[in-house]
Amino acid sequence: MRSYKRLRKTDDRMIFGVCGALADYFETDPTLIRILFVILFFMGLIGLLFYIILAIVIPPR
């Protein structure tokens, strides 16, 4: 039986754990995800909206 990865909030959290969860899911460094959200934030607040939506949607661990 094959196990699938799940998007769950992790202990590596700053505010809501969204970046840590995405980094764990994509197997990358959480700092890179945080930098991406900051860049998206300054490109028209889309990063903030996306972050808030993910903070609501991603379940806790």
Q: What is the average pLDDT score of the chain?
A: 88
More confident site: 2 or 53: 53
More confident residue, 7 or 30: 30
Q: Which of 1-10, 13-22, 23-32 has the highest mean pLDDT?
A: 23-32
Rounded-to-10 torsion of CA 36, 39, 40, 44: 180
Query: Directed axis angle between helix 46-57 and helix 18-26, to 10°?
Result: 80
Supply the pTM of this predicted model: 0.84
24 class by beta-carbon count within 10 Å (0-12 exposed, 13-18 middle, 19+ buried): buried
Model confidence pLDDT, tens digit, residues 18-39: 999 999 999 999 999 999 999 9
